[in-house]
Structure formats: structure tokens, C-alpha cells
Structure 1
């Protein structure tokens, strides 16, 4: 399939990380790294200041 089904979230402010399992339905519905990255961002971010320290960056690989 090409996916390992894991998401690594790193909190630079608290110097902590968590590993989460990706939902299989999301992998099927949001094809490729770009699709999953946009899904993660839309789930986690609210409208905020573009220069806020609360913003996220997603690195993902796609076909």
C-alpha cells in the first residue's frame, strides 16, 4: 500500500512528540501525501494569525 499508517507530531514548544495511528478511511479518501497533509491541517488548525507560534507545518510524501 505504501503507507505506514503513522503520524509523528512534534511539539517544539514543549520539546515532546507523540506517535499516532492514521485512520484507514482517511488514507483511502485522501489519496497521496498532499491529500493527507491538507486533511491534517484542516482538522488541527483554526483561523489564526499567519505568524502565530500555534501554526503547524506538515511534511509528507506522495506518489
Structure 2
């Protein structure tokens, strides 16, 4: 029988996955309503949160860089 810590980790992973899926769905809905691509909306959120971001930071945030 798994110990309680293993169950807690599994529950956390399940909850995290649900949050990630809900966030993706929300971003898709919001970008559609705003008439912009969801990647553009994610970039705008980053810049809004940080106040300023370089093009390299935005590309990294969006996963557009190879390293």
C-alpha cells in the first residue's frame, strides 16, 4: 500500500494538470473574444505583469527559443 506522501503527490499532480488545462481553455476563450491569437495574448499578459520585457524574455516565455 502506498504511503500518504505518495498519494499527496499524485493528488497535487492531478490538481496541477487540471489548473493547466483550465488556464489553456480560458486563454483560448479570452483570445477569441479579444480577436487576437492566444500566443499574442500570453505575451501581453507577460508584459503587463512585469511592466517591461525584452523581446528575448518574451520569446523565452512563449517557448520560442531553442535554449
Give the TM-score category using the shorter length.
0.3 to 0.5
Which structure features the higher share of helix residues? 2
Higher relative contact order (CA 8 A, sep 6+): 1
TM-score normalised per structure 2: 0.33
Structure whose CA Rg is larger = 2
TM-score normalised per structure 1: 0.35
